[in-house]
Structure 1
Amino acid sequence: MIAPAGRVDRIAAALLADGLILRGGFNFAPGEAPTTGASARSVLLVGQAGAAPWPHFLRWREKQLGTIANPLDTWSREVIGAVAETFGARVVSPSDKPYLPFQQWAMRAEGLRPSPLGILMHPRYGLWHAYRGALLFEDEIAFPEQGEAVHLCDACVGKPCLKSCPVDAYSSQGFAYQSCLAHVRGADGEPCRSGGCLDRNACPYGTDYRYPREVQAFHMAAFAGL
């Protein structure tokens, strides 16, 4: 059964109230859907462009009592979960275990490819976007045909994203997680702690959507366990 026309637009409007946006979706092939929980036939990815959800998240956080281990994940699941309940969907998150293939879903839904930093490169948002969850439905959705998006990294000759990190954490060999972590936590890591990843900030694309310093500092603190 195909989902009623207009439902996706109503879902998008409900998410936008908290600064979140739909990031595309697709119908699962037989045997492809997640096997945990109820059955699923289609998926809608939910995420953000730039820091639009940040003010909504801060207002929610101010009302919470006590310490929350992963507040942004908790807020995201709460907001997306409310939308899921309204529209008869099941919500899943990137942090759920066993981990679901969110990056593969995103590449399929939006036709994106990874940047040298591993973050998917978006033709409009650059590296300043994220996926916060997904809505799983038991019926099919009529999606428009999705082609491959323009991959801006192909036209970037200088690759400044690979030349700005003080410890060369990103290279053709992948991400040197431990080197990055030690630097961020160390005496020389203040620029990264307060302003975010220097390699990511060096990317020339999507700068209108770059996260403010406080948002980048929040994510860096979460990464480094500070």
Structure 2
Amino acid sequence: MITPAGSVDRIAAALLANGLVLRGGFNFTPSDAPPTGSSGAPAAAVLLVGQAGAAPWPHFLRWWEQQPQAIANPLDTWSREVIGAVAQDFGARAISPSDKPYLPFQQWAMRAEGLKPSPLGILMHPRYGLWHAYRGALLFEDEIPVQVAEAAPHLCDSCAEKACLKSCPVDAYSVQGFAYQSCLAHVGGANGEPCRSGGCLDRNACPYGTGYRYPPEVQAFHMASFARATS
């Protein structure tokens, strides 16, 4: 079980070998109704695993090129394999945001890193902007030494332009939420090429974290995955 503080550092190093990073964590309280750990007992703690920018992409591509056949959700499969191997080495249970029944990953992330959602629903990070993601989590049945996250500066509060709500040609994002059917129809239509090849125009319009922006090929991959998942 993971009790020494140095184990967290070793977990971080193991994940970093594949471009993934620890995204904070916390110890559950009795009121959290935590999910089960590796033995089936309630988990005592969680460490979130994710990415900053597109650091995992070359690791994922090397793995993908070696697969013998088409995989329906290759990035999810790769993430499960990598995080699962780390979980096995450290006595944890690996979970994924796409596992059913769904677990409250966004609420956990807000608690672990002190973040708030942007107008696009993606959590706004003070360094990475909108260019980050959560790929999974590690559940432990012992408490772990983690620092309680303080509220991070929410950059959206000081952003007067809100360019992220003005760039989509079909106004898919608004204060009413995300009109995914309008987005999907546009992406698949005759005028959807900029989005298909370069990613969401609203997301790209955000002025924060641009140094971590995903390259066009990574954005195109995610846009194609979105189109398949919602069609």
Please report the TM-score for the alignment, with normalisation by the length of structure 2: 0.95
**1:2 CA drift (Å):** 7.6
The answer to whether the 8 Å contact 2:37/2:141 transfers is no
Map 1:176-215; keep pairs closer than 5 Å: 176-215=179-218
Letter in 2 for 1:120: L
**CA distance in structure 2 between the aligned counterparts of 1:218 and 1:65, rounded to whole angstroms:** 19
The answer to whether the 8 Å contact 1:2/1:142 transfers is no
**CA distance in structure 1 between the aligned counterparts of 2:9 and 2:72, rounded to whole angstroms:** 33
Residue 148 of structure 2: aligned partner: 145
| Residues 34-43 or 113-122, more deviating | 34-43
The answer to whether the 8 Å contact 2:112/2:148 transfers is no
- 2:87 paired with 1:84: yes
Map 1:114-133; keep pairs closer than 5 Å: 114-133=117-136
**1:4 CA drift (Å):** 1.2
**CA distance in structure 1 between the aligned counterparts of 2:93 and 2:148, rounded to whole angstroms:** 24
Structure 1's unaligned 5+ residue stretches are none
SS state at 1:6 partner:
helix
Please report the TM-score for the alignment, with normalisation by the length of structure 1: 0.97
Percent identity of the aligned residues? 81
Residue 23 of structure 1: aligned partner: 23
How many equivalent residue pairs? Answer: 226
Letter in 2 for 1:194: S
Map 1:1-226; keep pairs closer than 5 Å: 3-32=3-32, 33-35=34-36, 38=40, 39-225=42-228
| Residues 47-56 or 32-41, more deviating | 32-41
Alpha carbons of structure 1 residues 76 and 21: separation in structure 2 relative to 1, 3 Å: same
Letter in 1 for 2:133: A
**CA distance in structure 2 between the aligned counterparts of 1:210 and 1:178, rounded to whole angstroms:** 25
